[in-house]
Amino acid sequence: MRDRKIIIVTGGAGFIGSHMVDLLIDKGHEVHVIDNLQGGREDNILHHFNNPNFKFTNMDIRELNYNNPIFKKANYVCHFAGIGDIVPSIEKPLDYIDVNLNGTIKVLECSRYAGIEKFVYAASSSCYGIAEVPTDENHKIQPEYPYALSKYFGEQAAFHWNKVYGLPVNSIRIFNAYGTRSRTSGAYGAVFGVFLKQKIENRPLTVVGDGTQTRDFLYVTDVATAFLAALETKMNGQVWNLGASNPQSVNKIVELLNSDVTYIPKRPGEPECTYADTAKIRSELNWKDKVSFEDGVKTLLLNIDYWKNAPLWTPDTIAIATKNWFKYLDE
């Protein structure tokens, strides 16, 4: 994008969304964030509040009307808003469908009526379930839990609007994003948020299983540059997998955090390895990741105070939080 654009970022106060806002502002664009601050934090974007190229609307995406004025002069939409915590989706499937599907449809309708030039959807690699690796975009879809299903439904809705209404849509299936500003909500979730709070409190890290499971971690600023490329491209109707294509074990995280460990039961429905085949996004969008895993973890440790008010998870509280997960997903 060589010229200045007006770009809406839903969920722009959240983990990935706030980094996307930083990148777009740095590129000289006008950014309008829509976020209800349920999963995101105002302090993630507070440094932009005096910038005339930044606007913020505290709103639930489900409350959007098709003719919402926020969209009228906008060029692009990056859609990150949604419920991101995985484990609670077992207990609240209707909430996840409502936000991640119905909320997405509200944003799509606003985009359609406003004549948005490009809509990029933040999808999830969880749609692949327990997948063959490395996993490419043609892998069969087999969601294992309601979060995964709701995110896939949202993606399908986006492509339906592309097919029926001609809304230019691209989708990026994110594997394992990590980095500063990751969620500190009350829900048991992503490994780094859990581990960093435990490290602050000098508690052992709660490793699921034996820690040999691997995840395709990608630092959040590299995620943001991929979304920018998906906005800039003339292509539409495309799906891209996004990861580092370099899976790291949980034991490697423990080593880098230099902490003691306690082991908790392995959870059903979760893969031993996630590993994105990123050949498509690298070739079609000329995207490259820049932050090594070691450097990314160092940055997290330098900013560890961000997680000081996050919930402290213990084996007992994790067992309570995941009780229904085992009930419904155990083989």
pTM of the entire predicted model: 0.97
Q: Read off φ and ψ for residue 227, nearest 5 degrees.
A: -65, -35
Q: Which of 169, 310, 288, 154 has its CA nearest to residue 219? A: 288
Helix (H, G, I), strand (E, B) or coil at 153: helix
- Catalytic site residue 147? yes
Q: How many CB atoms lie within 10 A of CB 186?
A: 11
Return per-residue pLDDT of the chain as tens, 331 residues: 458 999 999 999 999 999 999 999 999 999 999 999 999 999 999 999 999 999 999 999 999 999 999 999 999 999 999 999 999 999 999 999 999 999 999 999 999 999 999 999 999 999 999 999 999 999 999 999 999 999 999 999 999 999 999 999 999 999 999 999 998 877 887 899 999 999 999 999 999 999 999 999 999 999 999 999 999 999 999 999 999 999 999 999 999 999 999 999 999 999 999 999 999 999 999 999 999 999 999 999 999 999 999 999 999 999 999 999 999 998 5
155-to-17, 33, 54, 98, 306 alpha-carbon distances in Å: 17, 21, 27, 14, 31
Cβ neighbours for 294, distance < 8 A, ≥ 6 positions apart: 256
Give the DSSP H or E segment for 109: helix 104-114
Q: Which of 76, 147, 152, 178 is catalytic?
A: 147
Domains of the chain: 6-177+218-242 (3.40.50.720), 182-215+246-273+291-329 (3.90.25.10)
32 and 74 in contact (C-beta within 8 Å)?
A: yes
- Measured CA to CA, the distance from residue 310 to residue 188 in angstroms comes to 10
